[in-house]
Structure 1
Amino acid sequence: MSIKISLGGAAAEAVRSSVAPLVADNVASRITSLDSTLWGPEAEPEAAVRLGWTEAVAISRPLVPEILALREELHEAGVDHIVLAGMGGSSLAPEVITRTAGAELTVLDSTEPGQVRAALADRLASSALVVSSKSGSTVETDSQRRVYEQAFRDAGIDPTGRIVIVTDPGSPLDVSAREAGYRVFNADPNVGGRYSALTAFGLVPSGLAGVDIEELLAEAEALQLELALDRDQNPGLVLGAAIAATSPRRDKLGIVTDGTHIVGFGDWAEQLIAESTGKSGTGILPVVLGVDAPELAARPADLQIVRLVDEADDELFPAHAPDEIRVSGTLGALFLAFEYATAVAGRILAIDPFNQPDVEAAKIAARALLDDRPEPAPAAFVADGIEVRGTPHVIGAASDLVSAIDVLLEELPEDGYLAVQAYVDRTALPELEGLRDALAARAGRPVTFGWGPRFLHSTGQFHKGGPAVGVFLQVTETPAEDLAIPDRPFTFGQLIAAQASGDAAVLAEHGLPVLTLTLTDPSANVKTLFDAIG
C-alpha cells in the first residue's frame, strides 16, 4: 500500500470504536460510488455536485499529454518561468507538488502591492502566467490577471501566448478567455477547490513547471482500491476517525512535518480540513507546527498531533506507540487519503464537508469597503510606528503595544486558539512567521498563522463558522508604493486593506476579539513587534 498509518493513545481508541460503524454503513464504497446522501438531507444538494474528486485520476489523465505538449511549446518560445495566480486550493496544491518535486513555481496568492510588483519584475520576458479560478470571479485572481495582461502588452508580448486559464467549463472566465484567444484547460466542475489537487487546478501549473504529473496520478491510483473497500484497515476511514472521533474530541489538529520528503503538505491539509469542517459551531482546526513548536511540549488536552514521516510503522496500533497519528506515503496517495478522511470526518461531525457558508461574509464586507472606500478608522494609538486598532474591549483596556497584546491573550478561552493573520508582503517579511512560536510560548494554547488574504479561502471559514473560541491578531502594513489594477476603480493597496478591514469587521460581528497592528515602516517595526510579545 502506498500509505501507512500508525496510531497510539486517543487516536487509536477513536479508530477502535468508530471505524466498525463506518464499515457497517458502507461509507467508503458509498463515497466512491458518489452517494450524496451520506451527510444528511441538508448537505445532499451540495454533495451531489462535489464528489468528482473520487474520480480525479481517470478524469485528469487525458489532460497530461495536453499539458506536456504546452510545456514544450512554451519552452520553445523561450518561457522558463511559470507564475501561478490562484487562491486557496488552486494555489496550495501546486505549491506542495512543485516544492516536493524541486520544480520552480512562483505562487502569486496575494494582493499586497509589493508582492505583486516583485512577481511582475521577475523575468517577465520569459514568464508564463497560469490563472486558476473555478468561476473567474475571484477578485484576487482577476486582479492578478489584469495586471499581468497589461505588463505583457507594455513589454510588447502578446498575452494570449503567455497566459493559460484553468477554470470550470462554461464559467464566465471560460467564455471570456476563449473569446479572447487564450489557452484554456477545463477542470471537473464536480470538484470543489479544496479537493482539486489531482484535477487540472493541481496538474496544469505543476506540469508546466516541470513536475512528472503522470507519476503523481499513478501514486493516487495505487491507493484508490484501498480507499474504496469497506474494511477496518481502509486508510480513509482510519484517518477520518482518528481526526474527528476522539472522545472527548480533540478539535485542534497539530500537523507536523518531521523528516518526510514532502514539503509544505501541512498548509494544503490546513485549508482542506478547516474549510471542510469548520461550520455549524463545530469543526477541526488544523495548526501547522514545526518540529520544535511550543505546543508539542505543552500538549494541550484538546490538541491531536498528526506527524508526517518518511516511514510510519507497519502496524496500525504498534506497541508503545506515542499518543499521536503517524502517516507516511507518496504525495499523490496522501492527497487522496486526506480528501477521503475529510469527507469521513464530515460524516462523523454531522456537517456538510463540501460547502463554505461563512466565506462569503468577508468577501461582501470587503466589496462594500471597496465600493465606498471610506477613510480608514483612526488608530486608537500609535506605538513606535505601529498603529493599533481593535475591538472595543481589547483596545479599551490597552494603553500601549505590550498591554494591547496582553489584553488579547487574556481574552483567550481555556479551549481557545489564537490566529495570527499577516496581510503583508510575505516575500519581504518571511520572519513574521516567527510570531507563531513566540505567541504559542506566551499563550500556552494552539496558535495558527495565515498569510492574508489567502487564508480567507481556507481557515477563514473555520474562524466564523467553527467554535467561537478564537482570538485574532491582524498584522497589516502601509505599502511603500501602491499598484493600480487595470480597468478597476481600486488599487492593490486598497484591495488588501479592504480585505483585512472587512474580515476584522465580520469577526467583530461574531463577538470575537480582534487586535489589528499596522506596520507603517515594516522593516523597522518587526523588531518592535517581537519585543512587545517578549
Structure 2
Amino acid sequence: MSSLGVVASGAAADAIASRVGELVEAQFASKLFAQDATLWGPDAESESAIRLSWVNLPRSSRPLLGEVAALREQLKGEGVDRVVLCGMGGSSLAPEVICATAGVDLVVLDSSQPDMVRAAITDLDRTVVVVSSKSGSTVETDSQRRAFQAAFSEAGIDPTARIVIVTDPGSPLDEESRAGGYRVINADPNVGGRYSALTAFGLVPSGLAGADIEALLDDAESVWDVLSADDDGNPGLRLGAAMAGTDPLRDKLVIVDDGSGIVGFADWAEQLIAESTGKLGTGVLPVVVGGDSDPEVRWPAADVTIARLVGDDDSDDDLGGLGAGPDGTADGSRSEVAVSGSLGAQLLLWEVATAAAGRLLGINPFDQPDVESAKKAARALLEKGIGESEAPAATDGAVEIRSLGGDWLGAASTTADALAALFAQLDPEHGYVAVMAYLDRVTDAPLADVRPGLARHTERPTTFGWGPRFLHSTGQFHKGGPATGVYLQVTTAPHEDLAIPGREFTFGDFITSQAAGDAQVLAEHGRPVLQLHLTDHDAGLAQLTRALTDLSPAKGDA
C-alpha cells in the first residue's frame, strides 16, 4: 500500500488554503476520475474528451503485464538482453525514470544528433528496439526506426524479430508495421503522450528491461481512491494549488530531489508541467536543479516555489524545515512544497495536480499548440533543403555568433560579449534563462554543469534542455508561456553525419532544421535568441564552457 504526502509552507501553503476549497466545491477530483471533459471550459472540451483515460490506467493497463512478461522471456531465451527505446517526450521520459529507479538498464534514444544515434546502434546481436510513437508520424522516431531496420538487415538479423512497435491503434505506424510483419502493441488512444507513463508507452520498454511494472501499477492503484476524492486533504488538489494557485502567481517551480529515491523524476515532471500549462501567455515553468546549494534554492526569487521530492518514509515532522533559509532560520518569503510517495503513486499524483493546475490557470492542459508550430517550421526547412546558413554576426574562435528576436546584439563580437548582451534583455523580476543545447546529451553531459553558475550570474531561474528532447517539454512554455525568457541555443557540427535510409536528408540535416525552426518560432514570438554554433565540436565546446564558467557570480561566494 503506497501513501502520498504533500506538505507546504509560505505562499504555497496559502495557495492550498485559498484554492483547494473551490476545487472541492466544483467536485473537480471526482469529475476528473469520471472523465468529465467540461472541467477546463468549452474551448478545451473537444480535446479533453479524448485525453482522459489516464485516470483509469492503474487498472486498465493490467492486460499488458502478461504480454510483456512473455515477450521478455522469449527474448531472453534468444540471448537478447539489451533494450533500446526510440521515442520522444512522453514516450521516453517515463520509461527512463522507471528503469533508472528500478536499477535496470535501458538505452534511451531521444535525439536526432548523429553521434548519439550512431552510438546507440551497437551490440545488435543482443538488442531489441522498442519504437514508441503515439501518432506514428514523429519524424525523430521514424528516422531512428529506419536506421535500426537497416542496421539489423546489414548484420543479417531479421528486423521484425528485434523491433517492437508501440503506437496508437490505426496510426500510420500501426498499419505499416503490421503489414510488414512487426510485433505491434497498441496503447490507449485516449491518453496524451505526457500522461502516458502507465500505458504501453511506459510499461513495455520498462518491463522488457526488467522493471517490476506490476508493482508500479499496484502503487498507482493504491492511491486512486484518495486522488479521486473531493476532499480538502486530496494530495493532487493540494499539489495543484501549490503549483498554480499562488497570488500573485509564482510561475517558476524549482524541483529539487531531497532523498526521494526516485531517479530522474524531475525530468519527467518537467515535461508534464511545462507542456501542459505553458500557453495563452501563462503557465508554470519547471526548473530542475541539483540540490540545496543551487542558487534557485538558496536564494529563491519572489516568483519561485520550491518543490522538494522527499523520501516515501518521511513524516510531517521530518518536513518541518520547509520555509527555512539555507542556515535553517525562518524565511517568510520562501514558498515550498514537499512531496513524498512511491514512483507509481507519484506518477498519478503529478498528473492529477497538473490537470488541477490547468483548471486554476484557465488553460487546456491537454494540447501543445506551440510544440506543433516548431515541428512545422522544422519540416518546412527540411522541405526547402538545408542550404548555407546566414552569415554570422561575428565569429569568435570556433564559435559563430548569431542573434534573433530583435536588434539587441549590438556590436558584440566575442562569446562573452554576446552572452552579456543576451542577459541584458532579462526581466529582473520575472525573467528566466533557457539553455538549449543541440548536442549529444551523453558525451557532452558536463556542459549542463554550467547551469548553476548561470543562475548565480543572472540572479534568475535557469533551465538547461537537450535538443531536440526539450522541444517536447519546456519548448511549449518557451513560446506559449509568458514572454519573459531569454534563450541561448547551442548547435554543433557532428563528429560525423549519418544517413537516414529512405530519406533525402541526413540526421545532421534534421537536427539543424529542428534548431533553426525552434529559433525561428521563438523569434516570431519576440523572444531574444542567441545562437552559438560550434564549428569545431571539441574546440568550440571547450571555448563555450570556459566563457560560461568565467561569468562572475552576482550573488553568494565567488
Please give the TM-score of this superposition, normalised by the length of structure 2: 0.94
3-state SS of 1:295 partner: helix
Q: Does 1:378 align with 2:391?
A: yes
Residues in 2 aligned to 1:302 and 1:321: alpha-carbon distance in whole angstroms:
17
Whichever residue aligns with residue 219 of structure 1, its letter is D
3-state SS of 2:198 partner: coil
CA-atom RMSD, angstroms? 1.3
Q: Kindly state the Cα deviation for residue 11 of structure 1 after the two structures are TM-superposed.
A: 0.7
2:456 to 441, 459, 462: 441
Gaps of 5+ in 1: none
Q: Kindly state the Cα deviation for residue 281 of structure 1 after the two structures are TM-superposed.
A: 0.5
Superposed, which structure 2 residues align to 1:297-316 within 5 Å?
Answer: 297-311=298-312, 314-315=315-316
Residue 149 of structure 2: aligned partner? 149
Whichever residue aligns with residue 146 of structure 1, its letter is R
Residue 405 of structure 1: aligned partner? 419
Q: Kindly state the Cα deviation for residue 368 of structure 1 after the two structures are TM-superposed.
A: 1.1
Residues in 1 aligned to 2:258 and 2:125: alpha-carbon distance in whole angstroms:
39
Deviating more after overlay: 398-407 vs 148-157:
398-407
- When residues 315 and 297 of structure 1 are mapped into structure 2, their CA distance, relative to the original with a 3 A threshold, is closer
3-state SS of 2:407 partner: helix
Deviations 1:372-412 (A, max 9, x none): 12321122221121111112524334121110000000011
Residues in 1 aligned to 2:87 and 2:218: alpha-carbon distance in whole angstroms:
25
Residue 466 of structure 2: aligned partner? 451
Residue 531 of structure 1: aligned partner? 546
Q: Kindly state the Cα deviation for residue 458 of structure 1 after the two structures are TM-superposed.
A: 1.0
3-state SS of 2:223 partner: helix
Contact 1:254 1:287 in 2 (8 A): yes
- When residues 200 and 332 of structure 1 are mapped into structure 2, their CA distance, relative to the original with a 3 A threshold, is same
3-state SS of 2:105 partner: coil
Residue 327 of structure 1: aligned partner? 339
Q: Kindly state the Cα deviation for residue 295 of structure 1 after the two structures are TM-superposed.
A: 1.2
Contact 2:495 2:537 in 1 (8 A): no
**How many pairs were matched up?**
533
Deviations 1:242-296 (A, max 9, x none): 1110111100000001122100000000000000000000000000011021111
Contact 1:7 1:316 in 2 (8 A): no
Residues in 2 aligned to 1:110 and 1:224: alpha-carbon distance in whole angstroms:
34
Q: Does 1:427 align with 2:442?
A: yes
Residues in 2 aligned to 1:77 and 1:318: alpha-carbon distance in whole angstroms:
49
Gaps of 5+ in 2: 324-334, 551-558
Residues in 2 aligned to 1:220 and 1:318: alpha-carbon distance in whole angstroms:
23
Residue 256 of structure 2: aligned partner? 256
3-state SS of 1:246 partner: coil
Identity of matched residues, %: 59
Deviating more after overlay: 336-345 vs 303-312:
303-312
Q: Kindly state the Cα deviation for residue 436 of structure 1 after the two structures are TM-superposed.
A: 1.2
Contact 1:90 1:193 in 2 (8 A): yes
Q: Kindly state the Cα deviation for residue 462 of structure 1 after the two structures are TM-superposed.
A: 0.6
Q: Kindly state the Cα deviation for residue 319 of structure 1 after the two structures are TM-superposed.
A: 6.0
Q: Does 1:176 align with 2:188?
A: no
Q: Kindly state the Cα deviation for residue 86 of structure 1 after the two structures are TM-superposed.
A: 0.2
Residues in 2 aligned to 1:387 and 1:358: alpha-carbon distance in whole angstroms:
27
Residue 204 of structure 1: aligned partner? 204
Deviating more after overlay: 32-41 vs 368-377:
368-377
Whichever residue aligns with residue 371 of structure 1, its letter is E
Contact 1:6 1:314 in 2 (8 A): no
Residue 96 of structure 1: aligned partner? 97
Contact 2:377 2:521 in 1 (8 A): yes
Residues in 1 aligned to 2:95 and 2:62: alpha-carbon distance in whole angstroms:
17
Q: Kindly state the Cα deviation for residue 12 of structure 1 after the two structures are TM-superposed.
A: 0.7
Residue 54 of structure 2: aligned partner? 53
Residue 6 of structure 1: aligned partner? 7
Deviations 1:420-479 (A, max 9, x none): 000011112111111211211111000011100011111111111110111100011111
Deviations 1:178-210 (A, max 9, x none): 111111111100000000000100000000000
Residue 507 of structure 1: aligned partner? 522
Residues in 2 aligned to 1:506 and 1:450: alpha-carbon distance in whole angstroms:
17
Residue 418 of structure 1: aligned partner? 433
Contact 2:58 2:221 in 1 (8 A): yes
- When residues 498 and 328 of structure 1 are mapped into structure 2, their CA distance, relative to the original with a 3 A threshold, is same
Contact 1:94 1:203 in 2 (8 A): yes
Deviations 1:205-256 (A, max 9, x none): 0000000100000010010000011001101101101111011110000000
Residue 85 of structure 2: aligned partner? 84
Residue 377 of structure 2: aligned partner? 365
Residues in 1 aligned to 2:16 and 2:426: alpha-carbon distance in whole angstroms:
31
Residue 164 of structure 1: aligned partner? 164
Residues in 2 aligned to 1:117 and 1:180: alpha-carbon distance in whole angstroms:
24
Residue 41 of structure 1: aligned partner? 42
Please give the TM-score of this superposition, normalised by the length of structure 1: 0.98
Residue 15 of structure 1: aligned partner? 16
Residue 126 of structure 1: aligned partner? 126
Residue 190 of structure 1: aligned partner? 190
Deviating more after overlay: 364-373 vs 102-111:
364-373
Residues in 2 aligned to 1:514 and 1:435: alpha-carbon distance in whole angstroms:
18
3-state SS of 2:494 partner: coil
Contact 1:5 1:316 in 2 (8 A): no
